Amino acid sequence: MVIVSASRTKCLSATHEILARLRTPQLSWEDIELDILEAGFIKQRAHEMESMRDFSNLDELYLRFYQSKIDQPATLDHIRNTIKNCFRTENRVKCFALLPYFKKHSGLGRAVVERYVTPL
């Protein structure tokens, strides 16, 4: 079983936008889904959720989250300014999250899925 948290490429999330501006683009949902399907999994269900993210008060923990995700060193001030520049006109941004559930169809797939697993 594989459960993925992603955003559709046509409705990119705020996280995609922020990481792209911090020069750490994420894989598109379509590429991840194609790899998982080719590895022998079948998509059983998918649920899309809409939410609002408030960027008016960027606390240190939130900034450190992004700092841990980017490929190069960056100060918290740089990350804060990047986020503020992404959303100059609005402090609240609509976000979409997609949660598909895949079930293993055959004995294939472990190596492909491990490419996308983020350790907790």
Range of the domain at 66: 2-114
Task: Output the pLDDT for position 49.
Answer: 83
Q: Is residue 119 part of a domain?
A: no
pTM of the model: 0.64
The percentage of the chain sitting over the pLDDT mark of 70, rounded to a whole number, equals 81
Assigned domain for 12 exists: yes
Query: Is the per-residue pLDDT at 101 higher than 60?
Result: yes
Whole-number pLDDT of residue 115 = 59
pLDDT tens figures, 11-52: 556 777 888 889 888 777 788 888 888 888 888 888 888 888
pLDDT at position 63 is: 92
Between 18 and 95, the more confident residue is 18
Please, what is the Cα angle at 63 between 61 and 66, to 5 degrees? 115
pLDDT at 112 over 90: no
**Total number of domains in the chain:** 1
Q: Is residue 120 part of a domain?
A: no
Q: Which amino acid is at 1?
A: M
Please list, residue by residue across 14-49, b when 16 or more beta carbons sit within 10 angstroms of its beta carbon and e when fewer do. Answer: bbbbbbeebeeebeebeebbebbeebbbeeeeeeee
The confidence score (pLDDT) of residue 76 equals 94
Quote the pLDDT of residue 60: 92
